Chain A
Amino acid sequence: MLINKRLILAHFWLAFIVFGAALVLGAWQMFERSPLNVWHFNPEFYYRSVTAHGTVMGYVFPTLVAMGFGYAISEAALERPLVGRRWAWAGIALVAIGSVVAMIPVSLGLASVLYTFYPPMIGNAFYYIGVVLVVVGSWIWVALMSINLAVWKRDNRDKPVPLAMFANVAGSYLWGWTAVGAALELIFQIIPTALGLTTTIDAGLARVFFSWTLHAIVYFWLIPTYIAYYTIFPRAIGGRLYSDAMGRVAFIMFVVVAMPIGVHHLFADPQVGAGFKFMQSVFTGLVALPTLLTVFTICASAEIASRLRGGRGAFGWIGALPWKNPIMLATALSLVMLGFGGAGGLINMSYQLNTSIHNTQWITGHFHLIFGGAIVIMYFAIAYDLWPHLTGRTLDSYGMMRTQLWLWFIGMIVTTFPWHYVGILGMPRRMAFYDYANPAIAPQAFSVVISAFGGLILLTSGILFLIVLIRGQFAPRGEAGAYSFAIPLHMPARIPVALNSFGLWLALMIGLTIVNYGYPIGQLMAVKNTSVPAVYVGASR
């Protein structure tokens, strides 16, 4: 039951339009850094472009997808109209206004600080204010998801919360808490410096605050993908979800351990003690568990669907899966990329192995494979699945969808595998120019050229994706029926209260944050004379 279709569609369209624009920038950046570029652009344009690409792809695009999908889940799973419709429109308006406010100084070259801010570099204040507006807009969504769940619970005291809504609210709480780190950094450190109220900044403390946000934000991006695995995929291929409880446990584990682990991004930073780096490394290892649970459950769900379709044998059932179904294809390709990306992630989180790839192109390859690959391909699947329900028109260009998904997968592999490789060779990230004539880095040139072609394949796939959606918007009208989620193999009549509520898990999340971050942050705030002069980007010299 989707009622506020315009609201949801507005989120998805805005998300995919900004995604398309940022994708063009991404492909240009791949080319600019490669030996194919013989014109030698002003390097400043590169940093401008990376800042815009990162800000859009990291903050605006996934936030809008999570918000739009979240509203859709709330209405479809709880089977009631969204409470707070006007607030939801205010939320998307804030995101849109914030994006424009942030992008103007970036386009003018006044805020080429990259989306991770990197103090003591300080850009134009409006860039940061725009990002804050985007986050505030998303916090409205966090509040609305919580309120809608509470309203539903009040009327349905003895019913289990539908898995899709449970996961959706888990994702919103995770985002609400994890955004606090960057918000503290922006509001108390960066914006005062950007406005000229202070001229120095404690870069070490700012980096610790940002690490609070930086890792769990990936899990916030990931939650819509996992919701699609659990609640769209089994239904779309004509099967059942293997276990409803396993899904709840996975999302709960993300809430508890996804956030207090961000210091593994600071393994090379001197301002955090080695002991806390080790502790957060341990908890980072734990966050692999919900993913392993998910992979198991989803493969089991696929097997159920296949055997219902007549699949036989220990492995023969794989061939009997409905491979022509775009959701089937997207999920399989997503899991493959998740596997490679996850394996790379285990290397990043290991305190010792990290030193060999820290700050190299390996990292860029890693997060593009996980986010751009495994996560975003499921955003495509979510859009394909929801579109007929949102537009009231048929979406049947299946061949084009499959081509698009395959191109995205191939493009992402072709882009990120050479990236990982040159990272091992020691190629640093965040650089506009490499002198490939230098014998020391000449052997990396070939791999960089390959990954630049990967960028072009991704751009082609992105254009194809937008064409499919636009065609869907003008297709003949067709009734898609009520939007539904996958049914578990065994629908539990009763669910333990722990798997149906968030209080305990939020308490554990905050408790672990205090244990893992309390001392490093407190100490950095207490120690005097740790600030350094701000480096104003784009200021005249």
Chain B
Amino acid sequence: MSEDELYSPRNPWFSISVGVTAAIAVLSAIVGLIWLPLLQPNLKLAGIWDAICSAAGVPNLPRPAAAVPPAFKTSNVVVTPEMLTRQDQVSIGRGATLAQRCAICHGPQGVSDANSPNLAGQYAAVTYKELNDFKTGARVNVVMSPFAANMADQDMRDVALYYAYLPRVPSSQVNPNLPAPAIVVTGAPMRNIPPCGSCHGEIDIKAGSPWLGGQSAVYIKAQLQAFASGTRRNDISEQMRNIARQMTAEEIDQVARYYEAQP
């Protein structure tokens, strides 16, 4: 039993085992890399080489085309988790003075029943981003746009820090016993909707997402409808538009009523 005899085409153990293994490999490669891909009409393959590349998983990088600029303004604010999280007493004081002109709608303490957003205790990055978007035209509102148009960047930071400094006040509709709707807790995975709570609080808080507790139901509903219809488009990467488009009218109502009742 010498080893020399084994590695010879005359030894049937060698020739058959190597032959059968190679034949299976070649056959499965032909079927898997050529024949099966060519049978798929939706792959739109140009030929055998194209089929092989496709089935082997060669990355099909899109040709760099000139980016098409959108027909509308997009937000230019870059939100980071650290943005405007440092309390600055001078800034808050300046903001308090500047906020005098906001009080008519947003309330002298940042809270009002006028169905405009309650700003007391809102994250500064959120207020700053919205002001900035009103100023650049990424978000449009007949009342807010003229107010923001003449604000300097420092003004917007000061106002935002001032409102973040004010304590949150529970709304008149607060009802902590209202059960959380499924869309808030679990989202709707089949429609690609993550849970509201995974960005807006309760589960997790993501930078740039506003605190929604105690906001007017009318306001929340109007914004979700605006996202869904595309009249509001200052959400970065279309995240809220994609979510709102998939929500049912009933879910929008539930969410609006639920958040209004939260502290």
List the interface of chain A (C-beta within 8 A of B). Answer: 157-158, 256, 271-279, 282-283, 286, 494-501, 503-505, 508, 511-512, 515-516, 519-520, 523, 527
Quick check: is B222 within 8 A (CB to CB) of the other chain?
no
Quick check: is B152 within 8 A (CB to CB) of the other chain?
no
11 contacts between A and B (CB under 8 A): A271-B57, A274-B54, A275-B37, A275-B57, A276-B55, A276-B56, A497-B13, A504-B7, A505-B17, A511-B21, A515-B29
Nearest CB of chain B from residue A121's CB, rounded to whole Å: 17
Q: Are A274 and B59 in contact (CB under 8 A)?
A: no
Q: Are A282 and B28 in contact (CB under 8 A)?
A: yes
Q: Are A498 and B14 in contact (CB under 8 A)?
A: yes
Number of residues from B at the complex interface, CB < 8 A: 28
Across the interface, name the chain B residue whose C-beta is closest to A494: B1
Quick check: is B236 within 8 A (CB to CB) of the other chain?
no
Most chain A CB atoms below 10 A, which of B5, B18, B29 = B29
What residues of A have a CB within 8 angstroms of the CB of B6 in the complex? 497-498, 501, 503-504
Quick check: is B32 within 8 A (CB to CB) of the other chain?
yes
Q: Are A273 and B29 in contact (CB under 8 A)?
A: no
Q: Are B55 and A274 in contact (CB under 8 A)?
A: yes
Evaluate whether A523 and B57 lie within 8 angstroms (CB atoms) in the complex, with A276-B32, A278-B28, A279-B32 already known. Answer: yes
Evaluate whether A275 and B7 lie within 8 angstroms (CB atoms) in the complex, with A282-B24, A282-B28, A504-B17 already known. Answer: no
Which positions 12-54 of chain B face chain A at CB distance < 8 Å? 13-14, 17-18, 21, 24-25, 28-29, 31-33, 36-37, 52, 54
Across the interface, name the chain B residue whose C-beta is closest to A273: B57
What residues of A have a CB within 8 angstroms of the CB of B52 in the complex? 275
Q: Are B21 and A275 in contact (CB under 8 A)?
A: no
> Which 9 A-B pairs give the minimum distances between C-beta atoms?
A273-B57, A275-B55, A278-B32, A498-B13, A275-B33, A282-B28, A275-B32, A273-B56, A279-B28
What residues of A have a CB within 8 angstroms of the CB of B1 in the complex? 157-158, 494-495, 497, 500
Quick check: is B2 within 8 A (CB to CB) of the other chain?
yes
What residues of B have a CB within 8 angstroms of the CB of A282 in the complex? 24, 28, 31-32
Q: Are B58 and A273 in contact (CB under 8 A)?
A: yes
Evaluate whether A275 and B3 lie within 8 angstroms (CB atoms) in the complex, with A519-B56, A520-B57 already known. Answer: no
When chains A and B are docked, how far (Å) is the Cα of A302 from the Cα of B191? 57
Quick check: is B248 within 8 A (CB to CB) of the other chain?
no
What residues of B have a CB within 8 angstroms of the CB of A512 in the complex? 21, 25
What residues of B have a CB within 8 angstroms of the CB of A527 in the complex? 59
Nearest CB of chain B from residue A4's CB, rounded to whole Å: 30
What residues of B have a CB within 8 angstroms of the CB of A277 in the complex? 32
Nearest CB of chain A from residue B202's CB, rounded to whole Å: 16
Most chain A CB atoms below 10 A, which of B32, B56, B58, B59 = B32
Can you list, as one digit per residue, whether each of B142-154 has a CB less than 8 Å from chain A (1) or not (0)? 0000000000000
Q: Are B29 and A508 in contact (CB under 8 A)?
A: no
Q: Are A508 and B32 in contact (CB under 8 A)?
A: no
List the interface of chain B (C-beta within 8 A of A). Answer: 1-3, 5-7, 11, 13-14, 17-18, 21, 24-25, 28-29, 31-33, 36-37, 52, 54-59
Nearest CB of chain B from residue A357's CB, rounded to whole Å: 19
Q: Are A279 and B29 in contact (CB under 8 A)?
A: yes
When chains A and B are docked, how far (Å) is the Cα of A463 from the Cα of B133? 67
Identify whether the interface residues of A are mostly helix, strand, loop, or mixed: helix
Across the interface, name the chain A residue whose C-beta is closest to B57: A273
What residues of B have a CB within 8 angstroms of the CB of A271 in the complex? 57
Q: Are A504 and B57 in contact (CB under 8 A)?
A: no
Q: Are B56 and A508 in contact (CB under 8 A)?
A: no
When chains A and B are docked, how far (Å) is the Cα of A508 from the Cα of B13? 13
What residues of A have a CB within 8 angstroms of the CB of B24 in the complex? 282-283, 286
Taking a contact as CB atoms closer than 8 A, the residue among B3, B18, B55 that contacts A501 in the complex is: B3
Across the interface, name the chain A residue whose C-beta is closest to B18: A508
What residues of B have a CB within 8 angstroms of the CB of A523 in the complex? 56-59
Known pairs A496-B13, A500-B1, A515-B25. 20 more at Cβ < 8 A?
A: A273-B54, A273-B55, A274-B32, A274-B54, A275-B29, A275-B33, A275-B56, A276-B56, A278-B36, A279-B29, A279-B32, A282-B24, A497-B2, A498-B17, A503-B3, A504-B7, A508-B21, A511-B21, A515-B29, A527-B59
What residues of B have a CB within 8 angstroms of the CB of A495 in the complex? 1
When chains A and B are docked, how far (Å) is the Cα of A278 from the Cα of B24? 12
When chains A and B are docked, how far (Å) is the Cα of A508 from the Cα of B22? 9
Nearest CB of chain B from residue A201's CB, rounded to whole Å: 19
Nearest CB of chain A from residue B12's CB, rounded to whole Å: 9
Nearest CB of chain B from residue A502's CB, rounded to whole Å: 11
When chains A and B are docked, how far (Å) is the Cα of A274 from the Cα of B57? 7
Taking a contact as CB atoms closer than 8 A, the residue among B2, B14, B31, B56 that contacts A504 in the complex is: B14
Q: Are A283 and B28 in contact (CB under 8 A)?
A: yes
Across the interface, name the chain A residue whose C-beta is closest to B13: A498
Nearest CB of chain B from residue A337's CB, rounded to whole Å: 29
Across the interface, name the chain B residue whose C-beta is closest to A252: B17
Q: Are A497 and B3 in contact (CB under 8 A)?
A: yes
Across the interface, name the chain A residue whose C-beta is closest to B29: A279
Across the interface, name the chain B residue whose C-beta is closest to A516: B25
What residues of B have a CB within 8 angstroms of the CB of A256 in the complex? 17, 21
When chains A and B are docked, how far (Å) is the Cα of A519 from the Cα of B5? 33
What residues of A have a CB within 8 angstroms of the CB of B17 in the complex? 256, 498, 504-505, 508
What residues of B have a CB within 8 angstroms of the CB of A279 in the complex? 25, 28-29, 32-33
Nearest CB of chain B from residue A105's CB, rounded to whole Å: 25
When chains A and B are docked, how far (Å) is the Cα of A278 from the Cα of B54? 13
Q: Are A278 and B31 in contact (CB under 8 A)?
A: yes
Across the interface, name the chain B residue whose C-beta is closest to A527: B59
Nearest CB of chain A from residue B112's CB, rounded to whole Å: 34
Across the interface, name the chain A residue whose C-beta is closest to B43: A274
Nearest CB of chain A from residue B168's CB, rounded to whole Å: 23
Across the interface, name the chain B residue whose C-beta is closest to A524: B57
What residues of B have a CB within 8 angstroms of the CB of A505 in the complex? 17
When chains A and B are docked, how far (Å) is the Cα of A278 from the Cα of B3? 35
When chains A and B are docked, how far (Å) is the Cα of A282 from the Cα of B31? 10
Across the interface, name the chain A residue whose C-beta is closest to B40: A274
Across the interface, name the chain A residue whose C-beta is closest to B7: A504
Nearest CB of chain A from residue B11's CB, rounded to whole Å: 7
When chains A and B are docked, how far (Å) is the Cα of A303 from the Cα of B216? 81
Q: Are A276 and B14 in contact (CB under 8 A)?
A: no
What residues of B have a CB within 8 angstroms of the CB of A499 in the complex? 13
When chains A and B are docked, how far (Å) is the Cα of A511 from the Cα of B18? 10
Taking a contact as CB atoms closer than 8 A, the residue among A274, A498, A516, A520 that contacts B37 in the complex is: A274
What residues of B have a CB within 8 angstroms of the CB of A516 in the complex? 25
When chains A and B are docked, how far (Å) is the Cα of A256 from the Cα of B18? 11
When chains A and B are docked, how far (Å) is the Cα of A307 from the Cα of B104? 101
What residues of A have a CB within 8 angstroms of the CB of B21 in the complex? 256, 508, 511-512
What residues of B have a CB within 8 angstroms of the CB of A497 in the complex? 1-3, 5-6, 13
What residues of A have a CB within 8 angstroms of the CB of B25 in the complex? 279, 512, 515-516
